[in-house]
Amino acid sequence: MSKASEVISSGAEKLQQSLNGSLEGKKVAQLASVTKDYHDPKNRITTDYGVVQSNTDEWLKVSTDDHTGPSLLEDHMAREKINRFDHERIPERVVHARGAGAFGTFTLHKSLEEYTTAGVLTDTSRRTPVFQRFSTVLGSRGSADTVRDVRGFAVKFYTDEGNWDIVGNNIPVFFIQDALKFPDVIHAGKPEPHNEVPQAQSAHNNFWDFQYLHTEATHMFMWQQSDRSIPRSYRMMEGFGVNTFKLVNKEGKAHFVKFHFRPHLGVHSFVWDEALKLAGQDPDFHRKDLYDAIDSGCFPKWDFGVQVVPEADEQKFEFDILDATKLWPEEEVPIQFVGQLELNRNVDEYFTQTEQVAFCTGHMVPGIHHSDDPLLQGRSFSYQDTQLSRLGTNWQELPINRPVCPVMNNNRDGKGRHTITKGTVNYWPNRFDSAPPAKPEEGPHVAVDYPAKVEGMKARLRSKKFREHYNQAQLFFNSMSPPEKAHITAALAFELDHCDDPVVYERMCERLTDIDLELAQNVAELVGASIPQKAGRPNHGKTAKNLSQTELQPKNPTIETRRVAILIADGYDAVAYNGIVAALKAAKALPFTIAPRRTPIYAAGESKESGKGVKPDHNLEGMRSTMFDSVFVPGGADSVATLRKNGRALHWVREAFAHLKALGATGEGVELIKDACALPGMDFSTSGEITDSYGVVTAAKVQPQSFKETAQMAKGAKDFVDAYLWNISQHKNFDREMEGFPMMVAF
C-alpha cells in the first residue's frame, strides 16, 4: 500500500470512530460533507465551475512549432487559476513576503538610444529616483533571512514618463516556462498542506517531487542548490530581470533584451552551516546588514547592464531566447554595462514603504515592451491582480507607489481613493474633448504599441526549443569551481535527506544523472538511494563565464563594510588592538570589540581606577562568530590566558575557521589560534615574520610600526596588516575547505 493510501485509510478509520459519538460525530460528519479526498483515483482537474480540463500546464497561445507566441486573454481557465492563486493569502504577499527595502538613484553613463526611446535609458543627464525591495520567496513575513531560497531583486524606477518596474531575482533563470505553472511550483515549495511544514525551505517531499516531474526546472534547481541561494548580503548579490523584454527605438526597430545588475562588492555567500546558525541567532541579519551599511554611508552599488539581441536574430541560438529557464551565455551575447544603481537612503517606516510597495512586470515606459516570453505574459496579468487583492483598487495612489509624473485618466472611486478630480465628465470621448489620448507624434513619452507580427494556431503548446531542458543545467554545473561543486553536492544531500518518501529521493538521484554522473553517485550515496551506474545523457563539457561566483569579485580588493570581531580580555595588547582598529576603519571595515563581559576591559599595564578601559560592543555569549566576516586576536599575556580558558572564545575561533573566514593574531594571540586549529598542514608564526596559512595570518612578534592605517591589500604581502586585510577581502578561504580542515574541528 502506498504512503498516500495508508494516510487515507487511517483517516477514514478515525472518521468512522468519531461518528460513533453523538454531538462530536455530528460535527465530524458536517466537516466530512465538505471534505474532498485529493488522492481519489477518480479525480480529474476541473475549473472552479466544474468543467474537466485536459491541460492546465500551458496557457492558450498563438503559436507554431518553431515559435511560442502571445498568450490569449480568452483563456478563462488560466485566468481563474492565476486569479485564485493571487488571492490565497490575507494579508501578506503569497510569495516574497519577507523583505527589506531602500531608496536610491539610477544614473545612466551611456545612452541606449540605438535600441530604445525610453528616457530612463537614453538621457544620461537624469538622476532617476528608485525604490528597491529585496526578499526571500517561500517564507512568511516571520521567517528568517538566511534560509536557502531564491532572493527577490525588484526595482521601481520613478521616471518622467511613468513608473518602470524590474521585478527580478538574484538568479537569472526560473523554475517554469509558462506562468500557468506558477501556482503549482509555489504550492509545491510552500509548507505541505496537511501539516504546514516546513517553513521557508525547499527540503521536503513535495518540492522535490515537483522538480522531478517538471524537467524544465532542472536548470533552476541547480542554481537554487548553489551558493547563490545563501547570499552573504543583499549588497553582494547579482540582480537579473529574468524575463526577456523588447526595446524599440525611434525608427520602430525592435531588439530583445535582458537586464542585469552586478554588485560593486562582488558576489559572495555564506557556507551552509553558517546560514543555518544565523537563521536562529539573528533571523534579521540581511535586513540589518542593508540598513546598517546605508546608515553608515557605505552605499550599495550595482553596475546596470543589458544583453541585446536584434529581433531578426531570435532563432540563431540553440535555445529559445524567450524561455525563462534559459540564460543567454555572455560568450554569445555580451553584457553592455551602461549605468549604475545606488541605494543611499533607508526607509522612514517599514509598513508604508517596504511593505506597501507594489511591483508589476506590466509597468513599462514607452520604448520598453513585452516580448512573447510566456512567463512574462502571465506575470503581467498576475501581478496586477495580486496588488488589487493585497492593497485594494487604488494601490497605485499609495505614496510609495505613486509616479512622479502627472496622472490623469477616467478611473474613479473605490476603497482608499486619494485623488480628487474636478470636472463634469469622467469618460472619453466627451463633449469638451477633455483629457484626450495623445497622438504618437507628440513625443517619445507617448506609449505606442509595437506592431509585432503574430502567426500560428491557437493551441496549448510550446515551441521545439522550449522542450530541451538539460543543456544549460550541465553548462551551469560544469562552470562551477571545485568548492562550488562540493557545495551543490552537499546541498542536494541535505535537501533530499529531508525527503522521507523513497520515491522522491530515488527519482531525483536518477534525474541528476542527466546532469553529471559523479554528482548523482555522490548524492545517492549520502541520501541512501540506489547508486546510479550510467549517465542519463552525455555531459557536453561546455562552460560559460561569470556563472561561478569566483569570477565575480570586486575590481579592486576591498573590505568595505566587512564586520571584524576583535577578541580581548583584561591585559590585552593595546598597541595591536588600537592598530588593527585604526587600519580596519581606514579601510571602511566595521570593527567590533568582543570580550567575556560588556563592562570595560583594561589593557596590559592599565589600572582599573584610570577609567580608561574599552567598553566592548558585545560579550562572547551575546554574539557568535557567524555574525562577523573575520576574527582577530591581539596579544597580551593575561588577556590570552583568560581567553584560552574560555570554551566559548575557543569555539568562536574554531567556528570562524570552519566557516573559512580570515583569522588574524599577533603576539600571544597566536597561541589561542593554535589551540583552535593546529591541524597537520597548518603553519603559525614563531617570530616577527608573518605567516599566512590558508587565510590564517599570524605574527608572533610585532612592533608598533607593524600597524598602519593605509593598507596595500595584496596576495603574498609581507606586512601583517596588508596580508590580513587582503585575506578578509577574499571573503572565504576555499583552499582550507578543499584540504578538509573544517571537518577536522568541532564547531
Annotated binding site for heme: 383
Q: Residue for cell digits 514618463?
A: 161
Q: What is the distance between the alpha carbons of residues 618 and 596, in angstroms, rounded to a whole number? A: 9
Q: Rounded distance, CA 648 to CA 625, Å? A: 10
Cβ–Cβ under 8 Å, residues 365 and 164? yes
Annotated binding site: 383
**Residue 167, strand partner residues:** 154
- The active-site residue, picked from 55, 76, 109, 169, is 169
Distance, in Å, from the CA atom of 81 to the CA atom of 78, rounded to the nearest integer, reads 5
Burial environment of residue 72 by CB neighbours within 10 A (0 to 12, 13 to 18, 19 or more): middle
N-to-C CA span, the chain: 43
Residue found under cell 536610491: 104
Helix or strand or coil: residue 359? coil
Instruction: State how far the Cα of 717 lies from the Cα of 690, in Å rounded to an integer.
Output: 9
Note the Cα 668 to chain centre separation in Å: 41
Contact assessment for residue 413 and residue 405, using Cβ atoms and an 8 Å cutoff? no
Q: Where are the beta strands (DSSP E) in 462-539?
A: none
For 530, the enclosing helix (H) or strand (E) is none
For residue 490, with 0-12 CB atoms within 10 Å meaning exposed, 13-18 middle and 19 or more buried, which class applies?
middle
> Is 246 in contact with 256 (CB distance < 8 Å)?
yes
Q: Would you say 542 and 571 are in contact if contact means Cβ atoms under 8 Å apart?
A: no
Neighbours of 518 (CB within 10 A): 13
Class of residue 156 by CB neighbours under 10 A (exposed 0-12, middle 13-18, buried 19+)? buried
CA-CA distance, 151 to 170, in Å (whole number)? 5
Neighbours of 430 (CB within 10 A): 14
Hey, what's the cell of 630?
A: 573575520
Q: State which amino acid sits at residue 281.
A: Q
Burial 623-661 (b: 16+ CB within 10 A, else e): bbbbbbbbbbbbbbeebbebbbeeeebbbbbbbbbbbbb
Contact 115, 255 (CB under 8 A): yes
Is residue 342 within 8 Å of residue 104, measured between CB atoms?
yes
Instruction: Check: CB of residue 659 under 8 Å from CB of residue 268.
Output: no
DSSP bridge partners of 132: 102, 155
Residue 487 catalytic? no
Q: What is the enclosing helix (H) or strand (E) of 414?
A: none
Give the residue among 72, 86, 89 at the shortest CA–CA distance from 140.
89
**Which phi and psi (to 5°) does residue 695 adopt?**
80, 5
Cβ–Cβ < 8 Å for 708, 721: yes
Instruction: Pick the catalytic residue from 96, 255, 469, 731.
Output: 96
User: Which DSSP symbol is given to 396?
Assistant: G
Residue pair 74/471 in contact by the 8 Å Cβ criterion = no
Helix (H, G, I), strand (E, B) or coil at 683: coil
Please state, in angstroms and rounded to a whole number, the distance separating the CA atoms of residues 573 and 578. 9
Query: Does the annotation mark 195 as catalytic?
Result: no
555-569: string of b/e by CB count within 10 Å (b at 16+)?
A: eebbbbbbbbbbbbb
Helix 517-527, helix 482-497: angle, nearest 10: 40
As a residue count, the chain comes to 747
Question: β-strand 618-619 against 590-595: which pairing, if any?
Answer: parallel
Tell me which residues are annotated as active site.
96, 169
